[in-house]
Structure 1
């Protein structure tokens, strides 16, 4: 797929802008109750971007969510949840896909935490997990994702 890189995005008010210069490793929808509450929706959508392919190009995002070791980053003005830096996984940034221009290109390939899924929520993701995929499944899922996006 032609990812049209680099690709930019922003929070709702536009004060924090981001840029990706690398294709996603995989795209996801998370149905956990934490994501439901932070996104005020049935699930959150994200794209795992290699860390070296992600940058904040303007503004200063702030930590939100639970303020734990995993850093959920928000715009300080409009409070849009923009990206997450998962604890112990410095090789990627989990970007909220709707923040990126052309968000329709980032359909979820994996849906996680379906055990907490709202009964009406449908994503069309080809892979579903009651919690998270086993760690040893990610390499295969990422290879299959590349084929899926063509």
Structure 2
């Protein structure tokens, strides 16, 4: 865990040096919950797992992985609803939505305890977003598979190469 935090901090510094503009504001559709991303993402991804398909009512979900603490609720904390599920790994995953409009805002997972996965569609400006990796492709709808540099049938063991590729990718707001 300490090593993951150290690596995240080093890559955060790299992303900051490469001009990732912060903070990035966002919120739910009805406006009751507002947040700011205050630390640069470590990487971006698309998840094709069946849980994400159900939660998003779509073929996959999108995620922007930020260091835990780099995502701050600024308004409407009392309007957040948490949905928990224990995955096949035996580890818990918590999805946070607005209780009023059901916008899926972010995820915290025990399997990635040093990070928060922000749902980029809830950013005020999400036009810049694109995933650099995809996971759980074994569950993907065939037409939804992306041609990405990193593609995994399930989860990945070592996020280092994904982090490094994202840091040098140029995927940034305003880019």
**TM-score for both structures, normalised by structure 1:** 0.90
* 8 Å CA contact retained: 1:107, 1:125: no
Larger Rg, first or second structure (1 or 2): 2
* 8 Å CA contact retained: 2:137, 2:145: no
Cα distance change on mapping 1:88 and 1:44 into 2, 3 Å: closer
Distance 2:140 2:110 in 1: 24
Distance 1:120 1:90 in 2: 32
* 1:124 positional shift: 4.0
**TM-score for both structures, normalised by structure 2:** 0.78
Query: Is 22-31 or 118-127 further displaced after alignment?
Result: 118-127
* 1:71 positional shift: 1.3
Alignment of 1:1-150 (within 5 A): 1-60=18-77, 61-64=80-83, 66=85, 69-134=92-157, 137-149=158-170
* 1:98 positional shift: 0.8
* 1:4 positional shift: 2.2
**Gapped regions of structure 1 (runs ≥ 5):** none
Cα distance change on mapping 1:40 and 1:70 into 2, 3 Å: same
* 1:86 positional shift: 0.8
Distance 1:101 1:25 in 2: 19
**Gapped regions of structure 2 (runs ≥ 5):** 1-17
The CA RMSD measured in Å over matched residues stands at 1.8
